[in-house]
Amino acid sequence: MSGSARSLQASMFSGLRVARTDFTPEYSKNGKNVSAKLTINAFMNMATRANNGAGSNDAVPFTVWGKLAHICAKSMSPGKEFNCTATLHVYDGRVFMPSGIPNQPGTPIAKADGTPLMVKKFSYTIQLLTFGEESDKHINNEIQAGPQVRPAGWNIAGSQDALLWKEILKQRQAVAFNPAAPTYGYARVRMPQGAGIAAYIQNQPAAIAGVGAAVDTAAVVAASLAGINPVGSVALPGGVAVPGVVAAPPVVASGFVVPGV
Query: What domains are there in the chain, each with its CATH number?
Result: 11-134+175-227 (2.40.50.140)
* Alpha-helical runs (H) found in the chain: 67-73, 136-144, 160-174, 218-225
pLDDT at residue number 184: 96
Name which residue leads in pLDDT, 105 or 90: 90
Q: What mean pLDDT is predicted for residues 162-175?
A: 94
Helical (H) or strand (E) element with 183: strand 183-184
Q: How big is the CA angle at 238 (ends 233 and 166), to the nearest 5 degrees?
A: 55
Q: What mean pLDDT is predicted for residues 149-171?
A: 95
Residues 242, 149: Cα–Cα separation, whole Å: 13
**How many residues belong to the chain?**
261
pLDDT at residue number 207: 65
The pLDDT confidence band at residue 47, using thresholds 50, 70 and 90, is: confident
Q: What mean pLDDT is predicted for residues 55-70?
A: 90
Question: Phi and psi for 147 in degrees, rounded to 5?
Answer: -65, -20
- Helix (H/G/I), strand (E/B), else coil: 100: coil
Residues 107, 120: Cα–Cα separation, whole Å: 18
pLDDT at residue number 176: 93
pLDDT at residue number 96: 87
Which residue type sits at 115? T
- Region of poorest pLDDT, from 161-175, 182-196, 201-215: 201-215
